[in-house]
A and B are shown apart, each in its own frame.
Chain A
Amino acid sequence: MSVQPDHLVDISNLCFRYRDRDIFNNVNITVPRGKIVAIMGPSGSGKTTLLRLIGGLLLPDSGQIKVNDQDVHSLKKPQLCGLRRKMGLLFQSGALFSHLTVFENVAFPLKEHTDLPPQLLHDLVLMKLEAVGLRGAAQMMPGELSGGMARRVALARAMALDPELMMYDEPFTGQDPISMGVLLRLIKHLNRLLNLTSIVVSHDVEETCSIADYVYLMAHGSIIGEGKPQDLLASTQPQISQFMHGEADGAVPFHYPAKPYLEDLLDG
């Protein structure tokens, strides 16, 4: 019997460039099994890009990303498809198929990858929707759902094949307090009940720190801080402190670099 590695995701020496910009510069991240790991950072720090790299949607310039001890970017297409069936990715927009009902959206991966009889498929889909509290919305179209509801349906769909790894791309962005509370509860409970490993990408400090077991803080293409949420919140390192406490000015200045104000006014 093979021993499962302790880390479900292992990112080593990751380098990725987009156009003329270094998005990642020798980044190392590990995600232990069964834990919720948060990746936080300012907008444009490459958090969403990281999830796409883990999922094999993008190719790194150098470095290695292993999921369940398999190098994602050296897999052939059928093997990569097989690996992706063990992953779920909740996109920021939900990315529901607009021409299918809620039920059909959740049933989609089951229909594509299994030969389940219709009754069993029907029951499974209802169970997934029940888990996110939307069994009553099964026949609604995505256009009729609120943002929070759409994200919950997308979560049900991402979990349809019972993945080992769940990735959440900015799950709390644009959500009202109630929807945010619902999503927080779902992420935490589902991770525990289904023995998942979760990666949450977010810049919502309070919400993310309330559920994460470990946090990586990214900026300017590298990890500027990592540790347990309470350790990062207590950190006095200027960049970490500015981000974690939402300070307008600090290590990352408020003003974009420019010549002196008076000089600019007089030049006009």
Chain B
Amino acid sequence: MSTPAISIENLTKEFPIPFKRERVTAVRDLSLRVEPGQVYGLLGPNGSGKSTTMKIVLGLVSPTRGRTEIFGRDSTRVESREDVGFLPENPYFYKFLTGAETLHFFGKLCGLSGKKLRDRTKELLALVRLEDAAHRRIGGYSKGMLQRIGLAQAMIQEPRLLVLDEPTAGVDPAGSREIRDLILDFKKRGITVLLCSHLLGQVQEICDRIGILHQGLLVREGRLDELISIENQTELILENASPELLADLQAAVAKSTARVVEQRRPQTTLERYFLEVTSDEKKVKGDP
């Protein structure tokens, strides 16, 4: 078995409450593994321990008990972060830097320099489609642009693992779509992704596995399609079916133990519809 990208073993984190004896348990005896190449969704309501778990994996907070590893390296050690890129929720970068300078800065922190850094910066700016804004100050970036430069920064040292906290929060549908496409692109490249999001519809679209945290406990975990598929139902989508065929099918089902739950026209998603409409408008106005 190859080294898991993330390994969390019996993780517990307690926070002391000032002036009181008791402590708050943010994470209770959590164990999970994220295999290399997966897109893993860590879900849970506010206060469920998602952020804490992420911070512990990234070595920003130390565990009370238990152990977390990134590709076999203990999270409490600095080396483990050589393999990780992190995009925090609502990222702020130094407003006075331009997009390119921001990438340069983070690249230097990862040990890159010179031509290699410059090439990598250009490559990433192209990847996240910010070449035109590369020399504008971050202070002037929209939310979507901030998220994209954040992704670029997370990728600067070509990490094997990406940890993304609410990457599409507050971003408009077009930007959101771009970010999700990028994530899928990363997956194709073999990069592991740990994703935290409240936007469950989007999670459903891109994650392979999910874990659901509730009050510090892992209540459900597993392959997404297995978890949410309704066991005893089957979906059959037909094109150009005649009314007679449909009637025959209904009759056949009636004869068996199965039953028809619903017969309707499948719908496109509102998102796809919106994007189609707005991108047409964009073409009309001549915007890139």
**B partners with A:** no
On B, residues with C-beta under 8 Å from A are none
On A, residues with C-beta under 8 Å from B are none
